């Protein structure tokens, strides 16, 4: 298959994104939407098009169980209508009963983008004001800056123990010149993603654009690594230490008690590969591991950092295949689940979590994610913060907003006559996107009407843009009024804007 890079800025069609699903294992949102009690309009209209494990959150929502939503904003400029999608996603999850977190990624802006602290303070304030103006409830939710959140910093430090330079290098293209603070900001971002779970595991969703998926994958991976071990997944890695050995030994006991007829055996790859066998790895087990590594090499996979998890009497052909598949799909995580007990994967994971928490671990659930399409720039191409005409800032003078919509490119035909005859190309029209993503709000009928009138040739671009421009102007006026109201109340909120 063609390789798809996670930089879909240039492409806005769902079919392009679909390739991305196949390669990275993101699910289509369609497959899950029925499980969401009252889907948001961005879900209903396919703007939110993909997910990783969102079922976990949808289930919690249906059962009135706790869940959380978190997303971060890098304060490098003014918030614009593209960011509004994420604001809306956070706010909606909060309204559905979730614990909501909005964070300002100031460390990242400072280290990766080189913004001064003064600039960051100003932008941070603007992001928070827009989030509040759009409906975020600060009494119920959490707003914070990375740099002043001590718990996040502590968690980042813990997670840093589980990540290493070569791994970050591979994901983020770091090299010998990359500064240490940049790496620190990446690990802080991982801590942000897991932060909603520091007081106890709960389903968490991170609404992001698809370009952010590598962060999500790394966070999911780290969440598993700080778990110490699973039950169907006894943990073995190059990095295990005495603590893990003790936990693995205990897992053996637990399992042996529960399944007296099974011979439980755990292979500790670290010990085996380093020639140390104190943790009770048997020769058979060692042989199993040897064959695993050989199979991997034969399949052209280099087990550079194998985390082989095996609880099995005899690792089978299928297990090897599962392992290879895991490598193919995740690239960096080399693990295989070999279920030899009558536990479902969920039950086993739940059990593992309980044991991990009993031992002072976090018991994190893998964070889940939803992915939204990027908005097309008003001038065509991608919407970019650095090209003012391509986007509408939430701080734009409402009249400028009006003008920008009026000068936007459209999916219209060259003449009115042709438009009446063939219809407009709403699917390629940035103005239609404005209707679908923002201007129609919750009103599906209105969005559908615009679409149908456009493709049916009843709608001409001049009038259509005029209507959109007026709606945009109204939206900005109203939004900015609400921002002002919040501005007056901002000091009463416990948010730290001065670095």
The beta-strand segments (E) located in 54-179 are: 68-73, 99-104, 142-145
| Selected binder of ligand SF4 within 368, 410, 440, 480 (CB under 6 A) | 410
The beta-strand segments (E) located in 175-307 are: 204-208
How many residues bind to ligand SF4 according to rule CB under 6 A? 13
Contact call for residues 469 and 409 (beta carbons, < 8 A): no
Of 33 and 460, the one with the shorter C-beta distance to ligand SF4 is 460
Neighbours of 182 (CB within 10 A): 17
The DSSP symbol for 368 reads E
Q: Which of 389, 468, 384 is nearest to 424 (CA)?
A: 468
Give the binding range for ligand SF4 (CB under 6 A) out of 65-73, 124-132, 386-394, 407-415. 407-415
Give the binding range for ligand SF4 (CB under 6 A) out of 112-120, 158-166, 201-209, 422-430. 422-430
Distance CA 1, CA 22 (A): 9
| Selected binder of ligand SF4 within 203, 363, 377, 424 (CB under 6 A) | 424
End-to-end CA distance of the chain: give it in Å, rounded. 48
Q: Does 426 bind ligand SF4 (CB under 6 A)?
A: yes
How far are the Cα atoms of 29, 320, 322, 336, 382 from residue 317, in angstroms, in the given order? Answer: 33, 5, 9, 12, 47
Distance of CA 124 to the CA centre of its chain: 21
Q: Which of 464, 346, 449, 450 is nearest to 406 (CA)?
A: 464
Helix (H) or strand (E) holding 51: strand 48-52
Structure tokens at 330: 């995740």
Of 73 and 432, the one with the shorter C-beta distance to ligand SF4 is 432
* Cβ at position 412, least distance to ligand SF4 in Å: 4
| Selected binder of ligand SF4 within 429, 436, 438, 439 (CB under 6 A) | 429
| Selected binder of ligand SF4 within 197, 228, 411, 480 (CB under 6 A) | 411
Of 376 and 393, the one with the shorter C-beta distance to ligand SF4 is 376
* Cβ at position 474, least distance to ligand SF4 in Å: 18
Q: Which of 192, 204, 196, 111 is nearest to 156 (CA)?
A: 192
| Selected binder of ligand SF4 within 412, 447, 475, 479 (CB under 6 A) | 412
The DSSP symbol for 278 reads T
- For the chain, the residue count is 499
- β partners of residue 103: 72, 144
* Cβ at position 431, least distance to ligand SF4 in Å: 4
Distance of CA 499 to the CA centre of its chain: 27
Of 205 and 461, the one with the shorter C-beta distance to ligand SF4 is 461
Of 131 and 405, the one with the shorter C-beta distance to ligand SF4 is 405
Give the binding range for ligand SF4 (CB under 6 A) out of 29-37, 302-310, 427-435, 487-495. 427-435
Of 259 and 425, the one with the shorter C-beta distance to ligand SF4 is 425
Of 320 and 432, the one with the shorter C-beta distance to ligand SF4 is 432
Distance CA 270, CA 272 (A): 5
Q: Does 402 bind ligand SF4 (CB under 6 A)?
A: no
Q: Does 432 bind ligand SF4 (CB under 6 A)?
A: yes
Give the binding range for ligand SF4 (CB under 6 A) out of 101-109, 172-180, 333-341, 405-413. 405-413
Contact call for residues 29 and 46 (beta carbons, < 8 A): yes
Distance CA 269, CA 277 (A): 10
Give the binding range for ligand SF4 (CB under 6 A) out of 205-213, 261-269, 316-324, 425-433. 425-433
Q: Does 431 bind ligand SF4 (CB under 6 A)?
A: yes
* Cβ at position 424, least distance to ligand SF4 in Å: 3
**What is the pattern of x (binds ligand SF4, CB under 6 A) and - over residues 446-485?**
--------x----x-x--xx--------------------
Of 200 and 462, the one with the shorter C-beta distance to ligand SF4 is 462
> Which spans of this chain sit near ligand SF4 (rule: CB under 6 A)?
410-412, 424, 426, 429, 431-432, 454, 459, 461, 464-465
């Amino acid at each position: 298959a063609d390789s798809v890079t996670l930089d879909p800025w240039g492409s806005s069609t769902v079919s392009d994104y679909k390739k991305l699903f196949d390669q990275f294992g993101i699910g289509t949102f369609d497959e899950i939407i029925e499980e969401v009690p009252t889907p948001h309009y961005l879900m209903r209209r396919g703007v939110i098009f993909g997910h990783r494990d969102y079922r976990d959150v949808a289930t919690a929502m249906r059962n009135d169980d706790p869940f959380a939503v978190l997303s971060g904003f890098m304060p490098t400029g003014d918030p614009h209508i593209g960011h509004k999608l994420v604001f809306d996603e956070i706010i909606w999850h909060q309204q559905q009963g979730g614990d909501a977190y909005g964070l300002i990624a100031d460390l990242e802006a400072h280290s990766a983008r080189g913004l001064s602290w003064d600039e960051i303070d100003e932008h941070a304030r603007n992001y928070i004001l827009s989030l509040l103006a759009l409906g975020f409830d600060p009494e119920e939710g959490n707003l914070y800056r990375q740099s002043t959140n001590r718990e996040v910093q502590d968690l980042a430090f813990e997670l840093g123990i589980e990540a290493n330079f070569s791994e970050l290098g591979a994901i983020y293209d770091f090299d010998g010149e990359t500064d240490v603070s940049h790496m620190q900001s990446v690990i802080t971002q991982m801590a942000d993603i897991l932060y909603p779970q520091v007081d106890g595991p709960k389903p968490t969703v991170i609404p992001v654009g698809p370009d952010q998926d590598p962060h999500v994958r790394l966070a999911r991976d780290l969440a598993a690594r700080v778990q110490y071990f699973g039950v169907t997944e006894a943990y073995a890695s190059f990095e295990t230490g005495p603590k893990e050995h003790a936990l693995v030994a205990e897992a053996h006991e637990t399992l042996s008690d529960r399944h007296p007829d099974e011979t439980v055996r755990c292979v500790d790859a670290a010990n085996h590969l380093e020639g140390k066998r104190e943790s009770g790895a048997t020769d058979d087990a060692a042989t199993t591991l040897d064959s695993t590594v050989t199979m991997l090499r034969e399949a052209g996979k280099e087990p550079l950092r194998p985390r082989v998890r095996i609880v099995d009497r005899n690792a089978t052909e299928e297990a090897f295949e599962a392992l290879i598949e895991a490598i193919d799909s995740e690239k960096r995580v080399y693990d295989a689940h070999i279920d030899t007990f009558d536990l479902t994967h969920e039950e086993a994971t739940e059990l593992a979590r309980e044991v991990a928490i009993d031992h002072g671990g976090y018991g994190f659930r893998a964070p889940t994610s939803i992915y939204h399409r990027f908005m097309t720039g008003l001038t065509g191409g991608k919407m970019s913060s650095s090209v003012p005409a391509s986007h509408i800032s939430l701080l734009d003078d409402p009249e400028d907003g009006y003008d920008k919509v009026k000068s936007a490119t459209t999916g219209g035909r060259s003449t009115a006559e042709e438009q009446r005859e063939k219809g407009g190309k709403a699917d390629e029209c940035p103005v239609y996107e404005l209707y679908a993503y923002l201007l129609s709000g919750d009103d599906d009928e209105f969005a559908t009407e615009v679409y149908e009138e456009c493709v049916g040739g009843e709608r001409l671009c001049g009038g259509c843009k005029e209507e959109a421009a007026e709606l945009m102007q109204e939206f900005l006026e109203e939004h900015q009024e609400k921002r002002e109201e919040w501005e007056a109340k901002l000091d009463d909120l416990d948010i730290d804007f001065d670095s």
